Amino acid sequence: MHIKLDNVSVRFPIYDAKQRSFKQQVLSVATGGRIVTGSSKVTEVQSLKNINLDLREGDRVALVGHNGSGKTTLLRVMSEVYYPVEGTVSAEGKVTSLLDSMLGMDGEATGLENIKLRGLFLGFKPFQMKEYVEEIIEFSELGDFIYMPVRTYSSGMVLRLAFAISTCVQPEILLMDEWMSVGDDHFRNKAEQRLTEFIEKAGILVLATHDKLLADRVCNKHVFLEHGEIVDYKEISHE
């Protein structure tokens, strides 16, 4: 089990705002493209630069850095949401991402239907999710609301369902963007225990966080990012 990045760089194009303006679009359509205001220059923003990481089973890695340092972008590259413009990413083991627990949720569908929809985003076929349905319903404590459209749920109910679905299947490689905390005191305590067990059983954990105390407690390696580059690396002993 491993995840490896070799000289990975990510850049995003930023187009001239004039090109995207409503006025520009109207002029272009109305004149058949003969009148174009502004320039056609494209600016690229470097989000990651020459990232090298080789993570193995047992690694608990904290990505540390200020907002905009590249932590979330790096997680998205590892989960194959973004692809590098340079370098390569390789992974051996099933990657589970807790980057957006609401991804794949449909407000018009019932809670039960959303279990199946979210399961597709986790990489499972509908028949494979059947064995987890009852456990998800029980853990989320939604009762008969599971048969109601999610748009009728309170925000807390939606988060409970999303959390229960996202943590129903044990990952091999777990990617997290900040620590998840959901629900009232009763549910939060139960969720914290489940999340802790979830992390402990993962082969590899990569956690982006601003919380130094959490990073020290949970992780054995710290990767420090600034402006999309790794500027420091430390191994932490928990002895």
Q: What is the pLDDT of residues 110-153, one digit of tens each?
A: 999 999 888 887 777 778 888 899 999 999 999 999 999 999 99
The closest of 121, 204, 126, 130 to 166, measured between CA atoms, is: 121
Alpha helices by DSSP H, the chain: 17-20, 22-30, 71-78, 111-121, 126-140, 155-166, 185-201, 212-218
| Domains located in the chain, CATH noted | 2-94+208-235 (3.40.50.300)
Mean pLDDT of 188-203: 86
Q: What is the pLDDT of residues 169-179, one digit of tens each?
A: 888 999 988 87
> pLDDT: is 100 or 192 the higher one?
192
Q: Where does the pLDDT of residue 101 fall: very low under 50, low under 70, confident under 90, or very high at 90 and above?
A: low
Residue 31: pLDDT over 60: no
Q: Work out the average pLDDT over 95-100.
A: 80
pLDDT above 90 for 187: no
Q: What is residue 96's predicted lDDT score, i.e. its pLDDT?
A: 83
36 pLDDT band, cuts 50/70/90, is very low
Residue with tokens 């627990």: 101
Residues 6+ apart with CB under 8 A from 133: 112, 115
Q: What is the pLDDT of residue 127?
A: 81
pLDDT at 32 over 70: no
Q: What's the mean pLDDT when you consider all of the chain?
A: 85
More confident position, 226 or 30: 226
- What's the pLDDT tens digit per position in 45-97? 899 999 999 999 999 999 999 988 999 999 999 988 899 999 999 999 888 88
- The 10 Å CB-count burial string (b at 16+, else e) for 121-139 is ebebeeeebeebbeebbeb
Residues with Cβ within 8 Å of 90's Cβ and at least 6 positions away in sequence, in order, are: 2, 3, 4
